[in-house]
Chains A and B, each alone.
Chain A
Amino acid sequence: MSTSFEVWVAAFFTLAIFSYLFKDNIVFEFAEHTFIGFSAAHFFVEGYHNINGMAVDPLKEGDWPWIIPIILGLLLYTRYLPKSVSWLSRFPVAIMVSIASAAQIRGTLHAEFISQIAATSKLDIRQPNNLIFLIGVVTVCSYFLYLKRVRESSTLKVTSRVGRYFLMAAFGASLGTTVMGRYSLLIGRLQFLFGDWIKLIK
């Protein structure tokens, strides 16, 4: 068995969380609250260091433009003040949303839209996999056509139904990989408990 205090603490909290599988209990709640408390404290300290390192320190050295993000950050908290000043919080929110949107649109158009369409158009459909892929792309797109006149056509009824099957297959694959991911988490914890802690796994 491990002689490390850290490993014993981690093993205790792992078992405490697993104990929920038996039933809700006070040990589980203790572990849950400790985790939330630690996380909140950790991110508070990280946030404090970020603000200091990225804005306050440069400002102290005379890099005055850093006053702008500090003011914008403080304005976010005006939403907790009376209505006469709470509207000021909309300015930083608007700036954040617009910058995020600009960054996403710029990158998404080329990397996720044009490149994907270009790659699909270059598929060699003599290969069965590519043909299935192309049918999937077209029929799934047809599933999302909402114009009533188009939607009621007999052709589209067939293609959208096929598209729905492709979507269900994709969701199924996604669920399958989710299960696989959850197993990996369980394996990780068991490797820790029976390897690092009890030393039963070599």
Chain B
Amino acid sequence: MAGLFRKLDKMDDRILYVLIGLSVLLPLIKPMQLPLSPSSMSVDAFEAVDSMPAGSRIFLITEIGPTLSAELLPQLVAIHRHAMSKGLRIIYTPTSPVSSPFLVDIVDDWQQEYSYEYGKDVVILPFRAGDESLVVQIGQNFRGLYDEDYYEDDLEGMEIMQGISDIGDVDLVISLGGGELYRWVVRHIQAPKKLPTIIGCTAVMTTFVVPFYSSGQFVGIISGLGGSADYEFLANLPGAGVSGMDAQSLGHVVLLILILLGNISGLVLRRESV
């Protein structure tokens, strides 16, 4: 037995990479249709959007970019499709210069399927620099900050912006980010305006965001690829999230086996050397 563990101990790292790669790739090529059980955080997020009457306005602020797209893009697509299928309206606001192309693609890609109208059902605001100070400005002087959209068209004439003089006039806030964005939103939009707020975040950020959900400051959380799979499942709109879940599950099983083997091997070899 100890001989086997010695071999394992000296095994080339690259074999592990291949094992992990295969455990993720195979379920992507041949899905196993493992059952999904959405978390309460995802259910609450879904229900907050689902219970809104048609015509309600969602303010969606995001810092999505190439480094975050693997986790945030499925969330963004799921929310966009769900909202558009229910006749809700979305005001997209990028906080990063690399977010705008993602928003433009989403609005263009699904326009035919849901036949929504740009300017009436959806609008993309232009990128503004400032990070936290931008969110402060959105909380205090939203309309003063934006007078035209991403395409440099006047916002005054757009139906979606009618009746919005302050950020408090929207019905729901959704923040999709992988860094401090959720903190800026809770500090400068959720807390002062008491707006219902949903957070979409990368899996890494979940443990930091959950306390705000537990305290009732956020009505729901969509966490990582698992959160988007939950949302797609609840909305019955399968997409990249659901298709990635089998790979996540099998990948984790392989990783757990490797961790167990590594620990047992370490213990056996340590005992042998004493």
Contact = CB atoms under 8 A, between A and B. Distances in A.
B39 interface: no
The DSSP consensus for interface residues of chain B is: helix
Contacts, number: 130
B129 interface: yes
A194 B70 contact: no
Interface string A89-131: 0000000000110011011101110011011100000000000
Interface string B245-258: 00110011001000
Nearest to B214: A119
Interface in B182-228: 183-184, 186-188, 190-192, 202-208, 211-212, 214-217, 223-226
A191 B29 contact: no
A174 B183 contact: no
B17 A21 contact: yes
B207 A201 contact: no
B55 to A, nearest CB: 29
A54 B134 CA distance: 13
Interface stretch (A25-33, A80-88, A182-190): A182-190
B29 A110 contact: no
A201 B226 CA distance: 19
Task: Give the bracket for the number of chain A residues in contact with chain B.
Answer: 35 or more
Given A181-B203, A184-B224, A184-B225, A116 B215 contact: yes
B69 interface: yes
B177 interface: no
The DSSP consensus for interface residues of chain A is: helix
Interface in B4-29: 14, 17, 20-21, 24-25, 28-29
B169 to A, nearest CB: 20
B71 interface: yes
Contacts of A99: 133
A128 B32 CA distance: 36
Interface centre among B187, B243, B247 (most CB of A within 10 A): B187
Task: Give the bracket for the number of chain B residues in contact with chain A.
Answer: 35 or more
Contacts of B191: 107, 110-111, 115
A200 B184 CA distance: 41
B133 A103 contact: yes
Given A111-B217, A183-B248, A188 B69 contact: yes
A181 B71 contact: yes
A194 B204 CA distance: 26
A140 to B, nearest CB: 12
A103 B71 contact: no
A200 B136 CA distance: 46
Interface in B82-100: 97-98
A183 B251 contact: yes
A163 B20 CA distance: 35
B187 to A, nearest CB: 3
25 contacts: A106-B187, A107-B136, A110-B191, A110-B192, A111-B186, A111-B217, A112-B183, A112-B187, A115-B191, A115-B215, A119-B214, A119-B215, A133-B214, A174-B204, A180-B248, A181-B203, A181-B224, A183-B225, A183-B252, A184-B70, A184-B248, A186-B24, A186-B251, A187-B24, A187-B244
Which 7 pairs across A and B sit closest by C-beta, in order of nearness?
A107-B187, A188-B70, A119-B215, A111-B191, A181-B203, A184-B225, A180-B203
